[in-house]
């Protein structure tokens, strides 16, 4: 990377592209935060309006869906059978959720339910029957279960005297015999008595409608007990035909009980064919539906007749009206064709449940809106009524014919402002965090650029220094070699002196090249160490002997304190270069007459190697950088001591490779102490 010395353009672009836009956005954001209160009030009002519109539309959509389903259902009901044999093949009708009953009219005539209903009593209630003294005695004996055989004989004897007793006592006596025969499972005798009661129409005047239905159900049960499945089926269908021909409304309840139980038992017959099973199943389903709708029609017959024939101008074809607490709607053209009219009776509970399910989906999106939905009696249907101090904001009517109202409440001012403040703090924190992030990022980017520039400068100085360091010994070698080769040196002593100088400069050049190669291998991770157990004191002693002449030439006093047996696991060459680097560094930066003390001892299961000098020292501000690559203390242009800036960097990498620690203690002008602590070999 090569950066220009004059980087004003880069700094200008940096500030114009990052700092200024960020500061501008931060300023605008803080201004928006200040107006958050007004925005909170406006947003709450907008939320209320959106919520009310969505709620009203949701209810209208669901009501429209119910109307569509009702219209579809009416098409099935128009096809309902009018004859007994057609009921088994009728299409199964699907109920509409929210609709309790549907009534179809065509040309002002009721089409469904098709069962003939008579709301006026058929005068079938019998006169009050008072049992005679003989019947009372027989009843007491029957209840107390005293001699059933004697009671049966007494009743049989009484039956022989039928022409001589009243019709009431005769009927009561027959019923008593029927009970005895059924209890004793004399089913044929019981059937004969039932047939007798059914054949003599005059006797029905003494039987209530419920008793007649009981006799019919008893006869059906006897057929089932006798395993006469075919007779049970035919008898059920016969009664069903009679019922369709015209029954009073008073009989529908008991008829529903009879037919539902009878058809259920028929469906349980094992020998029933699939065709018959399907027919009886449809028969039961359709009959129950007819009876349910017939009961609802009878309860509101006068109202429904007026509502169906009433001339109501309605462009939509839908009109709602109430009969007491029951809600109805009438559907005509354009929903239906011709003179067809469909009237639906709303099942309030399921109708409200269906709409509430839709409203719950809407409510989940507007949790901050306070509202309640209530009916015409102010009963809460949905939502929540706030405290007594809550102020009503708006009210709306919901859904045609429903009688529901939507009430919106104003939010407490303090609560609204508190929420606004919370939002303001949150937004302010986010803006401040964003601004701080940009500023910190900018700082680190500039710092990184500055460090990169320093690194480039150090590399440049390194190349300049190395070039000088390489050029100096090469120049000396070349000069002395040319002098010897040209025969300009005649004396043998001079030749030997020059040869020694050439050897010395060659060694210097070799050491410099070796240092560069070691650094390169360590930098790329290609350095291979040969681990062995060695005595660090011996290694340091060899270095001490090698540099002693250099120290003497500079006027430096060298001393050593090397304890024997300081074994470590390491690479001999690497540790030699570590010791050499620290000792030569101490000699290089110590002015004569100075001292350099070398020490190797064992302390706390560690082998401690230290080099202490009385040199120029290192400022505390620079001590953290001296182990960095290419770093040299002081001004490179004015520094008199030459070097590559790699010596301490190599020392640190060797120490790290041996899992050793290295530290420095130094003060400017008072010398330095470098200490390496290695793990003792076991």
- Note the pLDDT tens digit of each residue in 451-508: 676 666 656 655 555 555 566 667 777 777 777 777 776 677 777 777 777 777 677 6
Q: Please report the domains of the chain, with CATH numbers, ordered by start residue.
A: 528-679 (3.30.565.10)
* More confidently predicted of 560 and 511: 560
The better pLDDT of the pair 47, 519 is held by 47
- Give the pairing type, strands 326-331 and 109-112: unpaired
Residue 601's pLDDT is 93
Which pair of structure tokens corresponds to residue 368?
């901050």
Q: Which comes out higher in pLDDT, residue 586 or 290?
A: 586
Is the pLDDT confidence value at 435 over 90? no
Banded pLDDT at 561 (limits 50, 70, 90): very high
User: 204: closest CA among 182, 174, 177?
Assistant: 174
Greater pLDDT, 101 or 450: 101
> Bridge partners of 319?
330
- Whether the CB-CB separation of 610 and 673 falls below 8 Å is answered with yes
Determine the pLDDT at residue 121: 47
Q: In the predicted model, is pLDDT for residue 677 greater than 90?
A: yes
The overall pTM is greater than 0.75: no
Average pLDDT of the residues of the chain: 76
pLDDT, tens only, 635-665: 443 355 555 556 787 788 888 888 899 999 9
Residue 576 has pLDDT above 90, yes or no: no
Look at residues 205, 193, 194 and name the one whose alpha carbon lies nearest to residue 129: 205
**For residue 637, what pLDDT is reported?**
34
Hey, is 444 helix, strand or coil? helix
Is a pLDDT exceeding 90 seen at residue 343?
Answer: yes
More confident: 628 or 535: 535
The Cα–Cα gap between 605 and 602 comes to: 7
Q: What is the pLDDT averaged over residues 341-370? A: 85
pLDDT of residue 613: 93
CB 509 within 8 A of CB 637: no
Transcribe 571-583 into DSSP letters: -HHHHHHHHHHHH
Find the length of the chain.
Answer: 682
Give pLDDT, residue 384. Answer: 78
Give mean pLDDT, residues 63-81. Answer: 82
Residue 392: pLDDT above 60?
yes
- 16: DSSP letter: I
Residue 5 has pLDDT above 50, yes or no: no
- pLDDT above 90: residue 562: yes
29-48 pLDDT, tens per residue? 655 555 655 666 677 777 78
Contacts of 304 (CB under 8 A, 6+ apart): 103, 297, 328, 343
Half-sphere exposure (CA, 13 Å, Cβ side) for 287? 31
Written as one string, the DSSP assignment of 576-638 is HHHHHHHHHHHHHT--SSEEEEEEEEEETTEEEEEEEE-SS---TTTTTTTTSTT--SS-TTT
Question: In the structure, what pLDDT confidence band is assigned to residue 437 with cuts at 50, 70 and 90?
Answer: confident
Whether 610 has a pLDDT exceeding 90, the answer reads yes
Nearest partner of 262 among 234, 296, 299, judged by Cα: 234
Average pLDDT over residues 423-428: 64
Range among 26-30, 68-72, 507-511 rated most confident: 68-72
In this prediction, residues 228-242 reach a mean pLDDT of: 79
pLDDT at 597: 94
Span of 255-259, 281-285, 418-422, 609-613 with lowest mean pLDDT: 418-422
Read out DSSP for 160-215? Answer: HTGGGS-HHHHHHHHHHHHHHHHHTT-HHHHHHHHHHHHH-GGGGGGS-HHHHHHH
Q: Which position has the higher pLDDT, 242 or 371?
A: 371
Cβ contacts of 278-286, under 8 Å, gap ≥ 24: 278/88, 279/87, 279/88, 279/89, 280/88, 280/233, 282/87, 282/88, 282/89, 282/90, 282/92, 283/87, 283/88, 283/240, 284/259, 284/260, 285/92, 285/93, 286/80, 286/81, 286/87, 286/90, 286/92, 286/93
- How confident is the model over 245-252, as a mean pLDDT? 56
90-104, 246-260, 628-642: the lowest-pLDDT one: 628-642
Q: What are the structure tokens assigned to 626, written together?
A: 């001296």
Task: Return the closest-CA partner of residue 205 out of 128, 273, 260.
Answer: 128
Residue 376 CB coordination number (10 Å): 11
Residue 86 has pLDDT above 70, yes or no: no
- Indicate whether 302 pLDDT > 70: yes
């Amino acid at each position: 990377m090569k950066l220009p010395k004059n980087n004003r353009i880069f700094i200008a672009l940096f500030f114009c592209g990052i700092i200024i836009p960020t500061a501008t956005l931060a300023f605008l954001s803080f201004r928006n935060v200040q107006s958050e209160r007004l925005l909170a009030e406006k947003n709450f009002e907008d939320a209320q309006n959106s919520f009310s519109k969505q709620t009203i539309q949701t209810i209208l959509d669901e009501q429209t869906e119910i109307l569509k389903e009702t219209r579809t259902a009416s098409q099935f009901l128009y096809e309902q059978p009018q004859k007994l044999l057609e009921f088994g093949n009728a299409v199964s009708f699907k109920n509409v959720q929210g609709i309790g009953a549907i009534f179809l009219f065509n040309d002002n005539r009721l089409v469904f339910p098709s069962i003939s209903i008579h709301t006026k009593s058929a005068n079938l209630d019998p006169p009050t029957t008072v049992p005679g003294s003989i019947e009372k005695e027989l009843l007491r004996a029957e209840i107390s279960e005293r001699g059933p055989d004697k009671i049966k004989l007494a009743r049989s004897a009484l039956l022989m005297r039928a022409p001589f007793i009243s019709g009431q006592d005769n009927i009561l006596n027959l019923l008593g015999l029927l009970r005895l025969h059924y209890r004793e499972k004399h089913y044929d005798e019981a059937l004969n008595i039932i047939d007798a009661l059914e054949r003599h129409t005059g006797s029905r005047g003494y039987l209530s409608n419920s008793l007649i239905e009981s006799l019919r159900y008893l006869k059906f049960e006897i057929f089932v007990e006798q395993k006469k499945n075919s007779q049970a089926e035919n008898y059920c269908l016969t009664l069903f035909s009679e019922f369709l021909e015209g029954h009073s409304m008073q009989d529908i309840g008991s008829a529903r009980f009879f037919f539902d139980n009878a058809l259920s038992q028929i469906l349980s017959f094992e020998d029933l064919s699939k065709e018959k099973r399907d027919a009886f199943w449809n028969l039961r389903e359709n009959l129950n539906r007819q009876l349910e709708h017939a009961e609802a029609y009878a309860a509101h017959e006068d109202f429904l007749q007026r509502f169906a024939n009433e001339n109501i101008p309605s462009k939509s074809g839908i009109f709602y009206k109430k009969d007491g607490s029951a809600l109805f709607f009438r559907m005509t053209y354009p929903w239906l064709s011709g003179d067809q009219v469909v009237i639906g009776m709303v099942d309030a509970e399921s109708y409200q449940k269906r709409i509430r399910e839709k409203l719950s989906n809407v409510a989940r999106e507007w949790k901050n809106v306070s509202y309640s939905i209530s009916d015409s009696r102010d009963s809460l249907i949905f939502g929540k009524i706030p405290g007594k101090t809550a102020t009503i904001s708006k009210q709306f009517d919901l859904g045609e014919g429903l009688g529901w109202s939507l009430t919106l409440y104003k939010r407490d001012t303090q609560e609204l402002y508190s929420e606004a403040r919370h939002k303001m703090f949150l937004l302010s924190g986010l803006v401040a965090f964003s601004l701080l992030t940009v500023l910190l990022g900018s700082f680190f980017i500039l710092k990184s650029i500055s460090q990169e520039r320093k690194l480039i400068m150090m590399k440049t100085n390194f190349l300049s220094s190395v070039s000088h360091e390489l050029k100096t010994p090469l120049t000396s070698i070349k000069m002395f070699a040319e002098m010897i080769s040209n025969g300009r040196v005649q004396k043998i002593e001079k030749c030997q002196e020059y040869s020694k100088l050439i050897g010395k400069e060659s060694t210097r050049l070799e050491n410099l090249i070796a240092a560069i190669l070691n650094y390169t291998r360590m930098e790329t991770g290609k350095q291979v160490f040969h681990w062995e157990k060695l005595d660090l004191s011996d290694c340091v002693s060899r270095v001490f002997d090698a540099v002693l002449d250099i120290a003497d030439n500079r006027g430096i006093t060298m001393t050593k304190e090397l304890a024997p047996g300081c074994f470590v696991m390491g690479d001999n060459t690497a540790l030699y270069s570590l010791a050499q680097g620290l000792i030569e560094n101490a000699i290089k930066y110590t002015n004569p007459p100075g001292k350099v003390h070398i020490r190797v001892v064992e302390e706390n299961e560690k082998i401690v190697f230290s080099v202490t000098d009385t040199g120029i020292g290192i400022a505390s501000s620079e001590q953290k950088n001296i182990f960095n690559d290419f770093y040299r203390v002081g001004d490179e242009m004015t520094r008199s001591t030459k070097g590559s800036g790699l010596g301490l960097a190599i020392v640190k990498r060797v120490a790290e490779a041996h899992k050793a620690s290295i530290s420095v203690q130094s003060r400017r002008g008072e010398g330095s102490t470098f200490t390496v602590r290695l793990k003792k070999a076991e």
